């Protein structure tokens, strides 16, 4: 139709007519369809999140806390998990004040447990099912990072990072899955990292735990498809949180430094919004990173040799900077 109109109008020398008879309606039509699509998407997302029981680990700070605010604002019923009861209660107070102002918001409840203790994790899952009945969305967010050389790092540190970032979340997920399968409904989310896709020097334990996370939840997604349970893996780049400050070092002590990369990262509120949208749209995975980290992820697959050269040079530079 467009071709015909084009020929006809060129023939008559009426280019302006062509614009008004074919191109403008086509553009307006596309815009209309796009706007309608977005509206339907937003309505579906709202329905999915409103009143949904959402469990968030690591809700006491950083990204977990911001996810709690975002899902609470979307009308979800929150179960906030953490190790520090006082900080969880502070957040409950903050969110409850908002819940009082809107009938679409709910007062959250809390569960205290340490993810590195599998027994505690399993009984926390039982407690949640007992008190709220079911879980619609589980957000495995809690985690710790690490700084150190492989040579200096004791196995206890490797194990601690794996317990918190990998074994804890998978134990929690496994404990909640049977009830999701019974209902043929549920959504498992995990906050991984760019370092779940590429390994950078002096992060061995952390990168390994995030690679394991990526692998486990990719398997889970495939296995859960028949039960209509969704799995979303979120892989952020640097976020402005206390992750580096709380990181564990080679000897098991706290790193205690706010890194420059962390300060220059995205805000936790911004990433929480990405998590909310990814969940609402049932995305399978999302990479939330800038140009260089994104290119590095592709480079690792397309030209591993070049990627390894970059990483070796990065290790040399970092070691030199530390020594001088
Ligand atoms: N910040 C960043 O640059 C990036 C972060 N991420 C990931 O985001 C997630 C959230 O981290 P972020 O908010 O940045 O960092 P924070 O240090 O601010 O938050 C980490 C959260 O995890 C909790 N946590 C740590 N260890 C345990 C444990 N053993 N049991 C239970 N809870 C625990 C902490 O609780 P407590 O208050 O008790 O310590 C805290 O609530 C992590 O999985 C991290 O790997 C991914 C990419 C980049
Ligand atoms: C053709 C050009 C390719 C250029 C690629 C060159 C290599 C660039 C290196 C980029 C490395 C990015 C690392 C990003 C790491 C990251 O974002 O990690 C997120 C975290 O989990 C942060 O945790 P941490 O404890 O490390 O602060």
Q: What is the mean pLDDT of residues 169-191?
A: 98
pLDDT in tens, 24-58: 888 898 899 988 989 999 999 999 999 999 999 99
Helices (H), 50-166: 62-73, 85-101, 118-132, 155-162
Q: How far apart are CA 19 and CA 138, in angstroms?
A: 51
In the chain, pLDDT over 70 holds for what percent of residues? 95
Residue-level pLDDT at 15: 63
Name which of 126, 128, 148 is nearest 53 in CA terms. 128
- Ligand 2 pocket test, pick from 192, 205, 238, 240 with the greatest ligand atom count within 8 Å of Cβ, gives 238
Answer yes or no: is the ipTM higher than 0.95.
yes
Residue carrying the six token digits 């979800």:
76
Domain 47-289: state its class.
alpha beta
Average pLDDT, the chain: 94
With residue 222 as reference, give the H or E element that holds it: helix 204-224
Specify whether the CB–CB gap between 193 and 235 falls below 8 A: yes
Q: How far apart are CA 50 and CA 40, in angstroms?
A: 15
Looking at per-residue confidence, does 10 or 197 come out higher? 197
Name which of 192, 196, 193 is nearest 211 in CA terms. 196
Residue-level pLDDT at 204: 98
Q: How far is the CA of 279 from the centre of ligand 1 (A)?
A: 19
Q: What is the mean pLDDT of residues 64-86?
A: 98
Can you read off the two tokens belonging to residue 3? 């071709």
Strand partners, 112: 82
Can you read off the two tokens belonging to residue 243? 């992750």
User: What separation in angstroms does the CA of 262 have from each of 53, 199, 271?
Assistant: 31, 17, 13
Return the ligand 2 atom nearest residue 195 CA: 18
Longest Cα pair distance anywhere in the chain, in angstroms? 82
With residue 109 as reference, give the H or E element that holds it: strand 109-112
Residue 1 has pLDDT above 50, yes or no: no
Q: What angle do CA 247, 252, 258 make, to 5 degrees?
A: 25
Residue 144 has pLDDT above 80, yes or no: yes
pLDDT in tens, 222-260: 999 999 999 999 999 999 999 999 999 999 999 999 999
2 backbone φψ class: left, alpha, beta (φ>0; ψ -120 to 50) = alpha
Looking at per-residue confidence, does 34 or 292 come out higher? 292
- CB crowding 25-34: b at 16 or more within 10 Å, else e: eeeeeeeeee
Residue-level pLDDT at 22: 83
Can you read off the two tokens belonging to residue 289? 């990173």
Residue-level pLDDT at 3: 53
Residue-level pLDDT at 2: 47
- Ligand 1 pocket test, pick from 68, 81, 124, 143 with the greatest ligand atom count within 8 Å of Cβ, gives 143
HSE value, Cβ hemisphere, 13 Å, CA-based, for 105 = 19
From-to residues of CATH 3.40.50.720 in the chain: 47-289
Residue-level pLDDT at 25: 83
Q: How far is the CA of 200 from the centre of ligand 2 (A)?
A: 7
284 band by pLDDT with thresholds 50, 70 and 90: very high
Q: How far is the CA of 161 from the centre of ligand 2 (A)?
A: 19
Residue 283 has pLDDT above 50, yes or no: yes
Q: How far apart are CA 239 and CA 289, in angstroms?
A: 10
Q: How far is the CA of 296 from the centre of ligand 2 (A)?
A: 7
Whether 296 lines ligand 2, by a CB cut-off of 6 Å, is: yes
Among protein residues, the one whose CA lies closest to atom 27 of ligand 2: 244
4 burial class (0-12, 13-18, 19+ CB within 10 angstroms)? exposed
Rounded (10°) angle between helices 24-49 and 268-280: 100
pLDDT in tens, 98-116: 877 888 899 999 999 999 9
14 band by pLDDT with thresholds 50, 70 and 90: low
């Amino acid at each position: 139709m467009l071709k015909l109109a084009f020929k006809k109008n060129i023939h008559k020398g009426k280019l302006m007519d062509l614009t008004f008879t074919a191109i403008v309606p086509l553009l307006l039509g596309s815009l209309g369809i796009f706007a309608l699509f977005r509206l339907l998407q937003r309505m579906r997302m709202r329905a999915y999140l409103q009143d949904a029981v959402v469990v968030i680990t690591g809700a006491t700070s950083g990204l977990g806390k911001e996810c709690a605010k975002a899902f609470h604002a979307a009308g979800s019923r929150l179960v906030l998990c953490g190790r520090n009861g006082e900080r969880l209660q502070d957040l409950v107070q903050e969110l409850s004040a908002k819940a009082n102002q809107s009938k679409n918001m709910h007062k959250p409840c809390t569960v205290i447990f340490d993810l590195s203790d599998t027994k505690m994790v399993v009984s926390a899952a039982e407690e949640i099912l007992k008190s709220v009945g079911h879980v619609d969305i589980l957000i495995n967010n809690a985690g710790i990072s690490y700084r150190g050389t492989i040579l200096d790092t004791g196995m206890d540190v490797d194990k601690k990072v794996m317990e918190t970032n990998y074994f804890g979340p998978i134990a929690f997920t496994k404990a909640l899955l049977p009830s999701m399968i019974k209902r043929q409904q549920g959504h498992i989310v995990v906050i991984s990292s760019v370092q779940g896709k590429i390994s950078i020097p002096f992060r061995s334990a952390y990168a390994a735990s995030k690679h394991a996370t990526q692998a486990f939840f990719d398997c889970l997604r495939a296995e859960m498809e028949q039960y209509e349970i969704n799995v979303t893996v979120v892989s952020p780049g640097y976020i402005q949180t206390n992750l580096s400050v709380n990181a564990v070092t080679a000897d098991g002590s706290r790193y205690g430094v706010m890194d420059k990369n962390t300060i220059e990262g995205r805000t936790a509120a911004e990433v929480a919004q990405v998590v909310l949208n990814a969940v609402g749209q049932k995305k399978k995975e999302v990479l939330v990173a800038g140009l260089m980290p994104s290119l590095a992820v592709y480079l690792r697959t397309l030209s591993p040799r070049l990627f390894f050269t970059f990483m070796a040079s990065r290790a040399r530079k970092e070691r030199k900077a530390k020594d001088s």
